[in-house]
Structure 1
């Protein structure tokens, strides 16, 4: 595999983004019939005009999580600019409003209400974070606002009866934990397995998946996102003799864990969730001088196109150069653009005159496949997108998928099985319906 770039992450200063409405060539309509209410006037639908669809998101543009995750919304904005330059979706351009919540649930509640009540967005798209989005999921469902592609793999987003408007985007953490544990157990059957995790539904769900496969772990340490040190937790793992540590950590805390272990002279195999295992982002925290050495051998799960020679990755690099000022290209870039593509696909499936009801019905129809290494499997009874993930390993500064190490499983006690089907292929220059 060819190497991915590893520049340091830049901290954005903006708290609001809007994608300019440019271009003139409209997409042709997708083949899915228009949904209930889609024949009404566009002015009757919040956020929808005859020429645009306004959507919004909350994300940490400032605060401790910003360096790890602020690039996602910039990447999504770049894809939408590319899409708009090609004519948008069924002739409508995407107006993308991004508001900073600092990864603070109280602020999330405030900015999401602003997006719904003042900005009159059509949908909330890719709100980021388990503790943050949990603060608004009930509100969005009560207001019947489509709550699409939450940037978290918590099981909270896959409750169609309780939260019919809400759909996840990340591989759910239970599945991810099962897949990571399955691979590591096969590779290291005699290891002493332990967990370091965030003290919320993210860490809890990942650990549930891990223990479904391993039965139990020798030690489990927790941290809060307000923590400034992991010395006590890493010391406890070292004292327990842990040789393989599975991390339910967001990117800043993955870096802090590995940096702390290095200072303590503690060596172990580290394995990260996709939410905290992106190599270029981690190097941005750890620094080019020590990051590559500390990250050598890092195992992580992923479910999106990733390798440098993948057609999706090549397209996203091109978009990043042209529409994102050639910002550092990381897994967050791929994530943001993949999510934005998936929204465009769903919007196209909602018909010529989209409604809130119509886009939910389009997702529940199963016609939206996204661009993962396994196709999305949304349905009326399943609001999680992906059923599987691949295993990546860092080797000599390159993070790439291991051949033959793609697995599927469920979010319950079902087996982890090898996946041999195809990934979703790039078509139509990454423009849905083209």
Structure 2
């Protein structure tokens, strides 16, 4: 009889413990508990695939380091609801096959709470279905594919950077206005990155102005045939949707062929610091690589860190100096810290004991602030990242000098509209608050 009573007591105790665990999964309050996969009472673990090596590594490999630096800053200041953010990012070499392996490991072995900052269009498209099938929050994808804005088919995925159709529309409108009657050539990556960019360009550049359309395949560094075709077309302007390495290859090929066409490059491939470093071998005198990109037209969606008067410069520099002193204060650092800043707000808004669903719900409510020149598009009906950009030119000390006003638009045929609200300023302690 005593054995039966002890067994009954054990069953009762187990039942109460299980009930306690169930109630703790509610994100609405109480003490911090292990509320979902990847969440403990003291940590929340997130993961990412990143091109730490390979063709996209120049510049992009700094983005996760910058994000981790900001998370380290948050962790040393108490974390989020008492939890430290553990950020695991693995190298996929910008190779989609590797991305699949890396993401499966993070989800199935490392049991991450969410995917954060996954970088690349050709890479992330291979895992977005898997992440949504597993109901893993897929936050701040560092790619402008409009495919991330699909709340009906991919309810767990959210973009971060402006989609390439929007960016193409804005750059195309600038080219049409600034270079009327000129011959235009396109040079784009042969995937959804370049294809979406072309869709946007074609919405604002007359078809009769486009004299050459050339594509490249990441990993094939011989772009001589494409640039030769552009040179023979006598294009006055080359609009490029390229990663940094291929922008540099394009510039070198221009020099070799005596091609003086004006370069207009999407933000993904126009970081001045990265390009100057890549081009040092062409202009080997110290610091001269940047001379080869002076006057290049591009766009920005974040407050540039070359504007040292802003609070974002002060905050991100302080974090960089303390946690990642070897990183340059460039656009890649800006992207990493900006997306990390947004994630902290998302995690705060997800509740005291966050679940995967609660962070998705919180993200759809929107209202996040940060260094964006334009707002994020998050809502129940939109998972788009930043909804526009501001055109600028690389000048002087390899900085982007912005022109006019920030512009917003959609990924369809909607108008391009000036955005007049100034960027937010960071809180004095550099830690956002939500709600």
- TM-score normalised per structure 1: 0.89
- Flag the 1:202–1:35 CA change in 2: closer, same or farther, 3 A: farther
Distance 1:173 1:89 in 2: 33
Kept in 2, the 8 Å contact 1:79–1:341? The answer is: yes
Cα deviation per residue 1:366-385 (whole Å; 9 max; x = unaligned)?
22234311122200111012
Kept in 2, the 8 Å contact 1:76–1:336? The answer is: yes
The residue correspondences of 1:172-187 to structure 2 (distance < 5 A) are: 172-187=163-178
Distance 1:399 1:392 in 2: 9
Equivalent position to 2:240, from 241, 247, 258? 247
- What is the match of residue 300 of structure 2? 302
Superposition deviation, residue 403 in structure 1: 4.0
- Flag the 1:428–1:53 CA change in 2: closer, same or farther, 3 A: farther
- What is the match of residue 57 of structure 1? 48
Kept in 2, the 8 Å contact 1:35–1:358? The answer is: no
**Runs of 4+ with >4 A deviation:** 34-41
Distance 2:402 2:126 in 1: 37
The residue correspondences of 1:213-362 to structure 2 (distance < 5 A) are: 213-216=204-207, 217-287=210-280, 289=285, 290-306=288-304, 307-362=307-362
Cα deviation per residue 1:19-59 (whole Å; 9 max; x = unaligned)?
xxxxxxxxxxxxxxx99655597324011111111000000
Cα deviation per residue 1:130-149 (whole Å; 9 max; x = unaligned)?
01001100000000000000
Kept in 1, the 8 Å contact 2:25–2:35? The answer is: no
Cα deviation per residue 1:88-128 (whole Å; 9 max; x = unaligned)?
11111100001111111111101101101111100000101
Superposition deviation, residue 398 in structure 1: 3.5
Distance 1:395 1:170 in 2: 23
- What is the match of residue 8 of structure 1? none
The residue correspondences of 1:148-167 to structure 2 (distance < 5 A) are: 148-167=139-158
- Flag the 1:35–1:236 CA change in 2: closer, same or farther, 3 A: farther
Kept in 1, the 8 Å contact 2:25–2:34? The answer is: no
Kept in 2, the 8 Å contact 1:138–1:163? The answer is: yes
Distance 1:286 1:98 in 2: 28
What secondary structure is seen at the aligned counterpart in 2 of 1:42?
Answer: coil
Superposition deviation, residue 391 in structure 1: 1.3
Structure 2 unmatched runs, 5+: 1-23
- What is the match of residue 7 of structure 2? none
- What is the match of residue 21 of structure 1? none
- What is the match of residue 363 of structure 2? 363
Cα deviation per residue 1:348-398 (whole Å; 9 max; x = unaligned)?
111111111010001111222343111222001110121121112112233
- What is the match of residue 375 of structure 1? 375
Kept in 1, the 8 Å contact 2:137–2:157? The answer is: yes
- What is the match of residue 136 of structure 1? 127
Distance 1:264 1:36 in 2: 64
Distance 1:325 1:212 in 2: 43
Superposition deviation, residue 320 in structure 1: 0.9
Aligned residues: 401
Kept in 1, the 8 Å contact 2:370–2:423? The answer is: no
Cα deviation per residue 1:253-287 (whole Å; 9 max; x = unaligned)?
01110111011111011011111011001111111
Superposition deviation, residue 427 in structure 1: 2.0
- What is the match of residue 19 of structure 1? none
* Most deviating of 115-124 and 289-298: 289-298
Kept in 1, the 8 Å contact 2:407–2:416? The answer is: yes
Kept in 2, the 8 Å contact 1:249–1:273? The answer is: yes
What secondary structure is seen at the aligned counterpart in 2 of 1:194?
Answer: strand
Kept in 2, the 8 Å contact 1:38–1:358? The answer is: no
Distance 2:178 2:424 in 1: 28
- What is the match of residue 20 of structure 2? none
Whichever of the two has the greater Rg, that structure is 2
Distance 2:113 2:378 in 1: 20
- What is the match of residue 397 of structure 1? 397
Higher relative contact order (CA 8 A, sep 6+): 1
Distance 1:35 1:250 in 2: 42
Structure 1 unmatched runs, 5+: 1-33
